[in-house]
Chains A and B, each alone.
Chain A
Amino acid sequence: MNLKTLKRDWLSNVRADLLAGTVVALALIPEAIAFSIIAGVDPKVGLYASFIIAMVTAIFGGRPGLISAATGSMALLMIHLVKDHGLQYLFAAGILTGILQILFGWLKLGRQMKYVPRAVMVGFVNALAILIFLAQLPQLTNVPIAVYVMTTAALAIIYLLPRVTTVLPSPLVAIVTITAISLFAGIKVPTVGDMGSLPSTFPPFLLPQVPLNLETLNIIFPYALTLAIVGLLESLLTASLLDELTNTPSDKNQEAKGQGIANIVSSFFGGMAGCAMIGQSVINIQSGGRGRLSTFSAGVFLLFFMLALGSWVERIPMAALVAVMIMVSIGTFNWSSLLHFRKVPRSETAAMVTTVLITVLSHNLAIGVVVGVALSTVFFSRKIAKVVFVDKVLSADGTHCTYSVAGQIFFVSVDDFLENFDFHEELEKVTLNFSHAHIWDQSAVGAIDQVVLKFRRSGAEVELLGLNEASATLVEKLAIHNDPDALKKMASH
C-alpha cells in the first residue's frame, strides 16, 4: 500500500464519503440492536462491535466503501454459544474467528470463492434476507396493536419520503417521527431501552475471562470456524457486488485479513464478531460513498450517536427499528431471482432453493452454502457426464469395428460410456479412438480396462488411439489391460 493509493482510497471523495457515512450509520443502529437481542446479549455488545468493525475494516480492508459491522448472519450463529457458555466465550470465539479469517486471507482462500456458483450466491443472499426478516417477528408478536400501526407508519415514511426528497435519510425521519409520536402521545410500546443496556462510555479493553485450555478450544472452535466462513462468504460476496457497482477492483484476500483484524479488535473491546453487510453497503454506494472514509465515518458517527444521544436512543420504539430492518431485508433479497425461476436451468433453481431452505431451517448460512455447493457440483457433473458420445463404425467385411469416443470420461459418466459397447459381436479387431475424449480418474481407466478385456475375451485384438497426453499418462499408470496378469487381477475383483 503506497501513499498514492492510500490517498486515493481515503481522500478522493471526502464530502460525499462523510455524508454517506452519516446515512449508513443510521442503518447500522437497528441491525446492531436487533441482532444483539437475537444473540442474547445487550445491545451495547452489538453497537460496540459495529463501530469498531466499521472503523477497523475501513483501515485494513481490501474493498473501499464496503460497510462491515455486527450482522444478523453472524449473530444467528452465536445464539447457542451465548446461551450455553456465556458472553466471555463469545468474545473468545470472536478472537479465534478473527485469527482464522486472517489465516484464510494469508492462504489466499479468497480465490476459492469461485467454487460457490451464482445460484448458491443468490440463495445465500435470499436466505440472508429471509433471516433478517424472520428475526423481526419476535418484535411483532404478542405486542400492543400500536406496534403494528407504528411499524406500518414507519415503513410508509421510509418508502414514500424518497419520492418527495432524496436529501433527507428517510429511515432517520421515520425513527424521529415515530419516537416523537410515541413520546408525545405517551403510547406504551417496547423501546430500545427495554432490550438491555446501551453504551454510555467508550468500550473498555478487556481480555475474555475464559480458561485457556483444550476444553475451551473444543467449545469455541466449531463456532469460530462457522463464523469465519459465513463472515468471509458474506464479506467477499458483498465486495464483489461493490466491485461491480463501482466498476473498480478490490483485494479479496486483504479484505479477509481486514475482517479478521476487525473481529479480533472488536472482541477485545467487548463486541461481537461481524462481517460485511449487503444492504448497508448498497445504501453507502447509493448515497455516494466510495472511499474508505465512508466506512470509517459510519463507525465514528455511530459512536457519536450512541454517546451523545444515548438517552434519546433508549426511547426509540422497537417498531421503528423493525421497519428499518424490514427495508434492509427487502433491499437485500434478490427479487429478480424469483422472476427468473422459469428462465434459469431447473438444476440451478433447485440449488438456490435448497440453499435457502437449509439455511432458513438451520439458521446457519454455512450449512446452506455447503449443501448448495455440493448439490451444484453433483448437478454439474451429471450434466457433463451426459455429454459422452460413442460412435460405432463397422468395416465392410464386418471384422473390424471402430468406436470413437467423445466427452469427459470420469466416475459419473462411466456407466453411460460402458452402455455403448456391444461385446457379443464376432470381431477380429477393435479400435477405440479417444481423440475427442478426456480420461479423468480411476473409474474411467477401470472402465476402459473392462472394455479392453471383454473384447479380448471374445477374441478380438484391441487398440487404443488418440489419447491426449494427460489421459495417456493416467492410462499408462493405472490400466491393467497391458499387464500380463491382467485377467487374474480382473477375476479377483
Chain B
Amino acid sequence: MKRILVCTDGSVFSQSSYHYAAWLATRLTAAVEVLYVTDERSQAAAEARNFSGSIGVDASDALLNKLVALEHEKAKLNHQRAKHVLQEAQQVLSSHGVETVNLIHEVGSLVDRFDEFEAHADLVVLGKRGEAAAFASGHLGANLERIIRASHKPCLVTSRQVQPIERLLLAYDGSPSCQKMLTFLVESPAFQGLELYIVTVAKSAEDQTAIAHIDEAKQQARIGGFEPVCCLIEGNPEIAIAQYAEDAHINLLLMGAYGHNRIRHLVIGSTTTQILRSSHIPVLLFR
C-alpha cells in the first residue's frame, strides 16, 4: 500500500491539497496520512509582556505558575484547532472516496522534524502557502522551500484553485531527478490515460544534447503507454515553462527540484522557486 502524506495547517491552500491528495490517492489506491504540526515555539514564547523589571516575593514560583497557566490555555486551543483541522481533512478526503485516512497531530517544528514525518510516505502533498502568508500572491509559504529542499520524496505543491487534472506537462532536462520522474510516470498508475506534454528548454533550438534529451523522454513515455506531445523551446526555463503551461492549459506540472547548487541559487535564484511562485497549477517536484 502506498502512502501519501498531506501536510496541512487548515488554510485555504490546505483545502486544495486535500482535493489533489484525494485524486492521487484514488488513482494510486494509496492511504492518506494527514499531518498537522502545532508549532512548539509559538507555545513556548507565551505572551508574558511585563517590562516592569520588578520582581516581588517568590518571583520565580509566581512566574512559573503564570507561564504554565498561559501555555495551558494556548496549548488547549491549539489542540482544539488541530482536531478541527484534521477532522475537516478527513471529511473532505472520505467524501472523495479515499478509504484509508490516518490523522496525525504532532507538536514541534514541521521543518526540523520533517525527516521523521516523511520517512514512511511515498509522496508528500502540501499547499504552496500556509496560514502565515495571507494572500500576497507571488510569495511562497514560510516552510515550503525548506521542506522541499529537505525532502527525499516527490512533493506535490498545490495551488489555491482546484482543477480536474487532464493535461500533464513534464519539464525535462535529463538530470537524475528527471530520470526519477520518468520512472514514476511510467511505473505508477497515477497518470495513466492523461494527455502528456514534454518540454525541454534550451538556449538554442539546435542544441544537440537538448534534442537527445527530449527524444529519450519521448521513448520512455511511449513505453509507459503515453502519446506525448514533445516540444523543444528556446529561452529562459522559468519563463518558458510557465508560459507553455499557460498556453497549453496544463493542469499539472512535473519537474525536477533544485537541480543546481546553492551558489547559483544565491546569485540568480532557483528555477524551481521561480516556477512555483509564478504558476497557478499544482507542481509535482522530484528530488
Residues of A within 8 A of B (CB): 4, 8, 12-13, 16, 19-20, 23-24, 26-27, 158-159, 161-162, 165-172, 241, 244-248, 278-279, 282-283, 285-288, 290, 327-328, 330-336
By a CB distance below 8 angstroms, the chain A residues around B64 are: 244-245
A20 closest partner in B (C-beta): B51
Q: List, sorted by A's number, 20 A–B pairs whose CB atoms are closer than 8 Å.
A: A13-B45, A23-B51, A159-B54, A161-B54, A165-B52, A168-B51, A168-B52, A169-B51, A170-B53, A171-B54, A241-B60, A247-B71, A279-B55, A279-B59, A283-B55, A286-B59, A287-B48, A288-B50, A331-B60, A336-B58
The SS class assigned to the A binding surface is helix
By a CB distance below 8 angstroms, the chain B residues around A170 are: 52-54
B52 closest partner in A (C-beta): A162
Alpha-carbon gap, A12 to B41, bound state (A): 8
Alpha-carbon gap, A334 to B50, bound state (A): 21
Q: Do B53 and A172 touch (CB < 8 A)?
A: yes
By a CB distance below 8 angstroms, the chain B residues around A27 are: 53
B77 located at the interface, meaning its Cβ lies under 8 Å from any Cβ of chain A in the complex: no
Q: Do B59 and A245 touch (CB < 8 A)?
A: no
Alpha-carbon gap, A128 to B143, bound state (A): 46
Alpha-carbon gap, A170 to B50, bound state (A): 11
By a CB distance below 8 angstroms, the chain A residues around B266 are: none
By a CB distance below 8 angstroms, the chain A residues around B164 are: none
Indicate the member of A24, A161, A244, A247 with the most B CB atoms within 10 Å: A247
Interface string of B20-48 (1 = CB under 8 A from A): 00000000000000000000010011011
By a CB distance below 8 angstroms, the chain A residues around B57 are: 330-331, 333, 335
Q: Do B52 and A288 touch (CB < 8 A)?
A: no
Q: Do A169 and B60 touch (CB < 8 A)?
A: no
By a CB distance below 8 angstroms, the chain A residues around B61 are: 336
Other-chain residue from A169, A332, A336 in contact with B52 (beta carbon distance below 8 A):
A169
Given A172-B53, A331-B55, A331-B59, do A247 and B44 touch, yes or no (CB 8 Å)? yes
Q: Known pairs A23-B51, A159-B54; list 14 more (Cβ under 8 Å).
A: A4-B112, A13-B45, A16-B45, A23-B53, A161-B54, A168-B51, A169-B51, A170-B54, A245-B60, A247-B71, A282-B55, A286-B55, A330-B55, A334-B58
Alpha-carbon gap, A336 to B71, bound state (A): 24
Q: Do B56 and A286 touch (CB < 8 A)?
A: no
Other-chain residue from A16, A169, A333 in contact with B53 (beta carbon distance below 8 A):
A169
A171 closest partner in B (C-beta): B53
Alpha-carbon gap, A332 to B59, bound state (A): 7
B63 located at the interface, meaning its Cβ lies under 8 Å from any Cβ of chain A in the complex: yes
B149 located at the interface, meaning its Cβ lies under 8 Å from any Cβ of chain A in the complex: no
Alpha-carbon gap, A172 to B54, bound state (A): 10
Alpha-carbon gap, A13 to B63, bound state (A): 19
By a CB distance below 8 angstroms, the chain A residues around B112 are: 4
By a CB distance below 8 angstroms, the chain A residues around B52 are: 161-162, 165-166, 168-170, 286
Other-chain residue from A172, A248, A286 in contact with B48 (beta carbon distance below 8 A):
A286
Indicate the member of B44, B45, B61, B112 with the most A CB atoms within 10 Å: B45
By a CB distance below 8 angstroms, the chain A residues around B47 are: 288
